[in-house]
């Protein structure tokens, strides 16, 4: 599944590309309208309206005139955009900056489902790491067969760590990809949630990698 990301701000574009690649997408990243119009065929376009050369609305119109590719508009102009304008542009959906990665990912998958593309990578609803079992469909968690009650954000954080056990995930990655309401938020809330998960699960389950971030222990059994 190939996505075309049209974004000229590298502080947004690079983390976005990395996050989407971790979710199984292939990413073509361009920074101008001209490059977007000249890009190879893709399965979905994520299009920033504030481009340096061509207005994103014109890029959207031209893409729609020649293709039925799904388009999600990314804009900082939330007060100027409504669904009537979007229909005129030919976009399938829109997100307003600042946005959270999980919200964006959900919108991408929803648009791909609506447009009939069944090739979008879907995450396995069940994750098992040692004695830890997570069902993302029912949002239930057990450790060594015992249910564990988590808050919604604790669940999201645990799922993110458990998708790649043993891998070190940086504090920046975790904040950007788990905290939807604040892409560039403080890392203090991350520490609070990590401490809570350790208390509810087991202290040794989530390891700290000093100066980098955290990882879920690959053998997640309690002693």
Single pTM value for the model: 0.60
Q: Is the pLDDT of residue 174 over 70?
A: yes
- d(CA 14, CA 176) in angstroms, rounded, equals 12
Q: Which residue has the tokens 């997100």?
A: 95
Quick one: tokens of 141? 């968690």
What are the pLDDT digits (tens) for 27-37? 999 999 999 99
pLDDT of residue 222: 46
For range 46-74, the mean pLDDT: 91
Reply yes or no on domain 2-114 having CATH 3.40.50.2300.
yes
For range 124-144, the mean pLDDT: 88
- d(CA 44, CA 25) in angstroms, rounded, equals 10
pLDDT of residue 190: 87
pLDDT of residue 185: 46
Class of domain 126-216: mainly alpha
Do the domains at 2-114 and 126-216 have one common CATH topology? no
List, in sequence order, every residue forming a beta bridge with 215; answer none if it has no partner: 207
- Residue 185 or 86, more confident: 86
pLDDT band at 11 (very low <50, low <70, confident <90, very high): confident
pLDDT band at 176 (very low <50, low <70, confident <90, very high): confident
- d(CA 196, CA 68) in angstroms, rounded, equals 46
Spell out the domain ranges in the chain: 2-114, 126-216
Q: Is the pLDDT of residue 52 over 90?
A: yes
């Amino acid at each position: 599944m190939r996505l075309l990301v049209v974004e000229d701000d590298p502080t947004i574009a690079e983390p976005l590309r990395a996050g989407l690649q971790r979710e199984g997408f292939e990413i073509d990243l361009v920074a101008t309208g001209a490059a977007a119009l000249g890009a190879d065929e893709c399965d979905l376009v994520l299009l920033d309206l504030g481009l340096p050369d061509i207005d994103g609305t014109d890029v959207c119109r031209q893409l729609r005139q020649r293709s039925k590719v799904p388009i999600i508009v990314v804009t900082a102009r939330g007060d100027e955009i409504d669904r009537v304008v979007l229909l005129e542009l030919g976009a399938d959906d829109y997100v307003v900056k600042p946005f959270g990665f999980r919200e964006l990912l959900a919108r991408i998958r929803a648009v791909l489902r609506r447009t009939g593309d069944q090739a979008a990578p879907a995450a396995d609803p069940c994750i098992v790491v040692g004695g830890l079992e997570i069902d993302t469909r029912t949002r239930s968690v057990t450790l060594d067969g015992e249910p564990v009650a988590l808050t919604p954000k604790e669940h999201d954080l645990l799922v993110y760590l458990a998708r790649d056990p043993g891998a070190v995930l940086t504090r920046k990655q975790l904040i950007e990809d788990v905290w939807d309401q604040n892409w560039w938020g403080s890392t203090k809330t991350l520490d609070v949630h990590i401490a809570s998960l350790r208390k509810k699960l087991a202290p040794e389950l989530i390891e700290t990698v000093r100066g980098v971030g955290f990882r879920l222990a690959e053998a997640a059994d309690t002693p």
